[in-house]
C-alpha cells in the first residue's frame, strides 16, 4: 500500500469510530457495564474459535522462527481466555469514570462552572505480540467512553481479528455500536505511521511494548501520546536502613518478576552500611540466580566471597535487563544516590530503605519519579496492586498521567459554564 492509501484507511476507521462513539456517550453506566459483561461471556463462549485462530498464528510464528519467549506471549489457551474474560468483568464493576465533577464554583456574575470528566473520543493503541492487550485495552477504553483503534502485531493478526470479531458480535446485541472497536490492518508496517499522524482524527495514542516501539511512537507521532513502560528502577539502602527489611525488599524487587518494568535493575548502598549489607546482599542475589555487575567496592566483596561477578560498565547502569541481572554500587550519600538515579534512571519507580523519615522525605523530594517506595518493593507500582482495578499501562511521563493508568486516566475534562445571558464587560 502507498503512504496515502494507509493514511486514508486509518482516517476512515477513525471517522467511523468517532461517529460510533456517540453511542458510547449516550450509553448509561449500566449499559456500558452490561456491554463489558457481554464481551466477557462471548470470549468464553467462543474460546474454540479463538484458540483455533491463535493456533494458526502460533504455527506461522514457529515457521518464522520466533523465540520461545515471544511464542509464549502470543499463545492463548482456555485458561488465558478465562483470565482475559475475568479481567473484563473486573473492569465492569469499577466506578463510573465519566461525568464526575472535578471542580465546581459559582462566580460573582452568577455563572455556574463545572469541570466534568468526559472521554477522549478516539484512542489508538500500538502494541506488540500479546493478543490479550486487544481485549484489555478495548474494555478499558469502552468503559471510559472511548472508541478504540487497535494496532497490534502482525504476528498476532489472526488472534486479534477473532478477538475483535467476538467483541463486536457481543456489542451488536447492545445499544453500543460494534464500530467503536476498530482493528487497524497489521499487514503493513506503514499503518502504524498513518495512525501516529492521524492528527485531528485520533485524540491520543498509547504505545505498549518494547523501549524501541515506545521511542518510535514518541519520535514519529504528531497525535498526542502517553509514553509507557521503560523502567530502570533502583533500590537504595540508606545509612539509616533496617537491613532486615532491606534484604527481602531487594530480592523481591529484582527477582519476583524480572521481565516487567517495575523490577529493579540496580542496587545502591550507602557506604556506611556497605560493609555489613554488601556480603549478605551479594550472597542472596547470587543464591537467587542473579548475574552481578559490581562497582569496584562491591566486586571486592564478591571476590572475597568467591561469588562470580563482573566489573560494571557505564552502559550497564542504564540497561533495563528484564532478566536476572543486577548492578551494584556503593554511594557516599543520599544525594549521591539521587544523582545516580537521575542520571541513569527512567523516572519510573525508586525505592529507599530507611528508618529516617527525614531521609525518606529528601529522597521523595529529589528522586523525580512516578512512584517512590519507602521500605517497600518496587513491584508495587501496578494498577491492580494500587487499587486501580485494571491498568492500560504505566505512564512513564509527567504529562496527563504518571504511574499506573486505569479508567480515570482515560478521560479528559470539559468545562460547562451555565448562565442566563452573561456577557463580558
For a second copy, the binding residues in 64-93 under the rule CB under 8 A are none
Query: What is the per-residue DSSP string for 246-294?
Result: HHHHHHHHHHS-TTSTTSEEEEEEETTTHHHHHHHHHHHHHHTT-EEEE
Q: How far is the CB of 347 from a second copy (least distance, A)?
A: 9
Shortest distance in whole angstroms from residue 224 CB to a second copy: 4
Rounded alpha-carbon distances, angstroms, from residue 397 to 71, 309, 392: 30, 34, 15
When asked if residue 359 is in the footprint of a second copy (CB under 8 A), the reply is no
* DSSP label at residue 269: E
DSSP-derived letter for residue 185 is: P
> According to CB under 8 A, which one of 75, 337, 360, 407 is a site residue for a second copy?
360
Q: Which residues contact 369 (CB under 8 A, 6 or more apart)?
A: 341, 345, 347, 348, 349, 350
Minimum CB–partner distance for residue 349 and a second copy (Å): 9
Instruction: Choose, by CB under 8 A, the member of 129, 226, 237, 299 that binds a second copy.
Output: 226
Q: Which residues, 6 or more positions from 360, have their beta carbon under 8 angstroms from its beta carbon?
A: 352, 354, 374
Q: Are 172 and 178 in contact (CB under 8 A)?
A: yes
Length of the chain as a residue count: 425
Residue selected from 216, 280, 291, 366 as contacting a second copy according to rule CB under 8 A: 366
Q: Does 364 bind a second copy (CB under 8 A)?
A: yes
Q: Which residue number, 22 or 49, has a Cβ lying nearer to a second copy?
A: 22
The verdict on 380 binding a second copy (CB under 8 A) reads: yes
Q: Binding of a second copy at residue 383 (CB under 8 A)?
A: no
Q: Extract the C-alpha cell encoding 286.
A: 547470587
Q: Does 400 bind a second copy (CB under 8 A)?
A: yes
Label the pairing between strands 181-183 and 204-208: unpaired
Q: How far apart are CA 395 and CA 388, in angstroms?
A: 14
Minimum Å gap between C-beta 381 and a second copy is: 7
Span from 74-82, 136-144, 323-331, 407-415 in contact with a second copy (CB under 8 A):
407-415
Answer yes or no: are the C-beta atoms of 273 and 285 closer than 8 Å. no
Q: Write each residue from 235 to 254 as x if it is in contact with a second copy (CB under 8 A), else as -, in one continuous string.
A: -------x-xx--xx-xx--
Does 343 contact a second copy by CB under 8 A? no
What residues between 153 and 212 interact with a second copy by CB under 8 A?
Answer: 199, 203-204
Contacts with a second copy by CB under 8 A: the residue count is 66
- Separation of alpha carbons 362 and 365, rounded Å: 5
The residue from 53, 373, 405, 407 that contacts a second copy (CB under 8 A) is: 373
Q: In whole angstroms, how close is the CB of 300 to a second copy at the nearest point?
A: 29
Decide: 202 and 223 in contact? Cβ < 8 Å. Answer: yes
| Of 170 and 372, CB closest to a second copy | 372
- Chain positions 33 to 52 lying near a second copy, rule: CB under 8 A, are none
- Least gap, CB of 324 to a second copy (angstroms): 16
Strand, helix or coil at 279?
Answer: helix
The cell for 236 is 537504595
Virtual torsion, Cα 286, 288, 290, 295, nearest 10 deg: -40
Question: Distance (Å, rounded) from C-alpha 394 to C-alpha 258?
Answer: 16
What is the contact surface with a second copy in residues (CB under 8 A)? 22, 25-26, 105, 107, 111, 113, 115, 118, 120-121, 199, 203-204, 218-219, 222, 224, 226, 242, 244-245, 248-249, 251-252, 256, 360, 364-366, 368-377, 379-381, 385-387, 397-400, 402-403, 412-424
Amino acid at each position: 500500500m502507498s503512504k496515502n492509501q494507509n493514511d486514508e484507511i486509518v482516517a476512515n476507521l477513525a471517522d467511523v469510530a468517532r461517529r460510533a462513539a456517540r453511542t458510547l456517550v449516550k450509553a448509561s453506566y449500566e449499559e456500558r457495564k452490561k456491554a463489558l459483561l457481554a464481551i466477557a461471556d462471548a470470549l468464553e463462549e467462543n474460546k474454540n474459535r479463538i484458540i483455533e485462530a491463535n493456533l494458526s498464528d502460533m504455527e506461522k510464528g514457529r515457521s518464522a522462527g520466533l523465540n520461545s519467549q515471544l511464542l509464549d506471549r502470543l499463545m492463548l489457551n482456555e485458561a488465558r481466555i478465562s483470565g482475559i474474560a475475568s479481567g473484563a468483568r473486573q473492569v465492569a464493576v469499577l466506578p463510573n469514570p465519566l461525568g464526575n465533577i472535578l471542580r465546581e464554583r459559582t462566580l460573582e456574575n452568577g455563572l455556574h462552572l463545572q469541570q466534568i470528566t468526559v472521554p477522549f473520543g478516539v484512542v489508538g493503541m500500538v502494541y506488540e505480540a500479546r493478543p490479550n492487550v486487544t481485549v484489555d485495552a478495548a474494555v478499558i477504553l469502552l468503559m471510559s467512553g472511548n472508541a478504540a483503534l487497535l494496532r497490534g502485531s502482525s504476528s498476532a493478526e489472526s488472534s486479534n481479528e477473532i478477538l475483535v470479531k467476538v467483541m463486536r458480535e457481543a456489542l451488536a446485541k447492545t445499544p453500543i455500536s460494534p464500530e467503536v472497536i476498530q482493528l487497524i490492518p497489521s499487514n503493513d508496517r506503514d499503518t502504524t505511521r498513518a495512525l501516529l499522524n492521524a492528527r485531528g482524527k485520533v485524540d491520543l495514542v498509547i504505545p505498549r511494548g518494547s523501549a524501541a516501539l515506545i521511542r518510535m511512537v514518541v519520535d514519529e507521532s504528531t497525535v498526542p501520546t502517553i509514553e509507557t513502560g521503560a523502567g530502570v528502577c533502583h533500590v537504595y539502602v540508606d545509612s539509616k536502613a533496617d537491613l532486615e527489611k532491606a534484604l527481602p525488599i531487594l530480592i523481591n524487587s529484582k527477582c519476583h518478576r524480572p521481565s516487567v518494568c517495575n523490577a529493579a535493575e540496580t542496587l545502591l548502598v550507602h557506604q556506611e552500611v556497605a560493609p555489613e549489607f554488601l556480603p549478605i546482599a551479594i550472597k542472596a542475589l547470587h543464591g537467587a540466580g542473579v548475574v552481578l555487575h559490581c562497582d569496584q567496592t562491591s566486586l571486592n566483596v564478591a571476590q572475597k566471597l568467591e561469588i562470580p561477578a563482573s566489573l560494571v560498565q557505564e552502559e550497564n547502569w542504564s540497561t533495563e535487563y528484564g532478566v536476572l541481572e543486577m548492578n551494584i554500587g556503593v554511594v557516599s550519600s543520599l544525594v549521591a544516590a539521587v544523582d545516580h538515579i537521575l542520571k541513569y534512571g527512567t523516572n519510573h519507580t525508586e525505592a529507599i530503605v530507611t528508618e529516617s523519615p527525614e531521609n525518606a522525605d529528601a529522597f521523595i523530594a529529589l528522586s523525580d519519579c512516578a512512584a517512590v517506595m519507602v521500605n517497600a518493593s518496587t513491584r508495587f507500582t501496578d494498577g491492580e496492586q494500587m487499587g486501580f482495578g485494571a491498568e492500560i499501562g504505566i505512564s512513564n511521563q509527567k504529562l496527563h498521567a504518571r504511574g499506573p493508568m486505569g479508567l480515570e486516566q482515560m478521560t479528559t475534562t470539559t468545562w460547562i459554564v451555565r448562565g442566563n445571558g452573561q456577557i463580558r464587560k
